[in-house]
Homo-oligomer: A and B are copies of this chain.
Amino acid sequence: MKRIYLDNSATTAVDPEVLEAMWPYFSEEFGNASSVHTVGQKARAAVEAARARVAELIGAQPGEIVFTSGGTESDNLAIKGVAEALSDQGRHIITSAIEHPAVLRTCRALEKRGFRVTFLPVSGGGLVEVTDLEAALREDTILVSIMMANNEIGTRQPIEEIGRLIRDVRQARGSPYPYVHTDAVQAVGKVRVDVNELGVDLLSLSAHKIHGPKGVGALYVRSGVLLAPQMHGGHHERDRRAGTENVPGIVGFGRAAELARTHLAERQRHMQQLRDHLEEGIARRIPDVLFNGDRERRVPHISNCSFRYIEGEALMIRLDLRGIAVSTGSACASGSVEPSHVLTALGRDRELARGSIRFSLCKDTTASDIDTVLDVLVEEVAALRALSPLAQPSETRV
């Protein structure tokens, strides 16, 4: 059975070119980048070259890139690092209701340490309103953390506008705070991301979402921004993140960043065309479908829709049994379902939240993949509806 992988928001395959770049750093040039001898210095040079590439992808300076173990750590470091560094300036943080758990749960953890967090609601399309953000700002707001692109529905938040608003607020206050952080894990490599255009102070990235290896990420920290390290130990990453550098991982991240930058426009076009083709096919061939999230303001690789009367995990499993990998907003473990906090925030009822499927594409997805997926999807949705006690007979068309 040929397998079709449409779960690229969960993780992507490492690009063969990336793997090739990493290869020598496992067993040949295996030095510790902190070692002063030649073996170490070769590793150091490789790490610094990768840093420059990651910086270039987002329009930053190499010195503003801190390597981490992934997007989760980048989010934790950004939010806890600012909270700790600025706790004397204030203890209020603003974020949104549809952030990734790495942001949401970090904010919840800070609430236990005495910080106050405002979780902004989103529109039915999954967008934060800048006026809501403005209204939520307080004297003691030290950080605004809004994701650039949502991982479940792909919507793009108005980060440039938020950046401008906060710049004006700071100027009016004559203060360098609040800082702006954005989780750009799902945006990087998919759309243009430039820290200066966005006007952000901190930005999270993860390598494995852009055909780099798992277990490597980065946090952009604008020069001059105060950040308390969260990992203590050696003097790595200019004292901002301790721990022996994952040299091959970082090298792979650098190469993936370089490829993402070089091929951005073509990849973006490619994914968007196929994604639109998928959505047209679904809308035309399957009744009772609702697409989730704003259809315009979003990244090109994600499509999320809810199929009425059926349950997302069952559909996902049946697709998997036919060789198609997708994900669902409903994950049932030990008899309890956590409906997606994102779909819930959009106002979707429990049934629709449970019936949601995320298709996420990548540069390697082909038109024939999409055609196959459509054919299989039509059959499986019909079959599950025929099974469903929620659907009226008239509604089930096989």
Copies in the complex: 2
The interface centre, meaning the residue of A35, A40, A71, A108 with most chain B CB atoms within 10 A of its CB, is A35
Distance between Cα atoms of A26 and B211 in the complex (Å): 9
Distance between Cα atoms of A205 and B367 in the complex (Å): 46
- Judged by a CB distance under 8 angstroms, whether A7 is at the interface is yes
- Judged by a CB distance under 8 angstroms, whether A311 is at the interface is no
Distance between Cα atoms of A158 and B210 in the complex (Å): 47
Stretch binding the partner chain, chosen from A231-239, A300-308, A389-397: A231-239
Q: Is the CB of B244 within 8 A of A72?
A: yes
Q: Is the CB of A325 within 8 A of B39?
A: yes
Residue of chain B at shortest CB distance from A12 = B30
- Judged by a CB distance under 8 angstroms, whether A118 is at the interface is no
Give chain A interface residues in 7-31, CB to chain B under 8 Å.
7, 10-16, 19, 26-28, 30-31
Q: Is the CB of B13 within 8 A of A34?
A: no
- Judged by a CB distance under 8 angstroms, whether A216 is at the interface is yes
- Judged by a CB distance under 8 angstroms, whether A356 is at the interface is no
Given the known interface contacts A105-B242, A244-B214, the answer about A233 and B75 at a Cβ–Cβ threshold of 8 Å is yes
Residue of chain B at shortest CB distance from A216 = B215
Interface range for A: 35 or more
Distance between Cα atoms of A230 and B220 in the complex (Å): 21
Inter-chain contacts of A31 with B (CB < 8 A): 10-11, 325
Distance between Cα atoms of A214 and B46 in the complex (Å): 14
Distance between Cα atoms of A73 and B246 in the complex (Å): 13
Give chain A interface residues in 185-225, CB to chain B under 8 Å.
206, 208, 213-216
- Judged by a CB distance under 8 angstroms, whether A249 is at the interface is yes
Inter-chain contacts of A327 with B (CB < 8 A): 35-37
Inter-chain contacts of A317 with B (CB < 8 A): 36-37
- Judged by a CB distance under 8 angstroms, whether A38 is at the interface is yes
Question: Which residue of B16, B38, B70, B108 contacts A325 across the interface (Cβ within 8 Å)?
Answer: B38
Chain B min CB distance to A84 (Å): 9
List residues of chain A with CB under 8 Å of any chain B CB: 3, 5, 7, 10-16, 19, 26-28, 30-32, 34-40, 69-73, 75-76, 100-102, 105-106, 108-109, 206, 208, 213-216, 230-234, 242-249, 313, 316-317, 319-320, 325-328, 331
Mind listing 23 A-B residue pairs with CB under 8 Å?
A10-B32, A10-B34, A11-B31, A12-B30, A19-B27, A32-B214, A35-B327, A36-B320, A37-B316, A38-B320, A69-B215, A69-B243, A71-B243, A71-B244, A72-B242, A72-B243, A76-B231, A100-B233, A102-B232, A102-B233, A102-B234, A206-B244, A249-B249
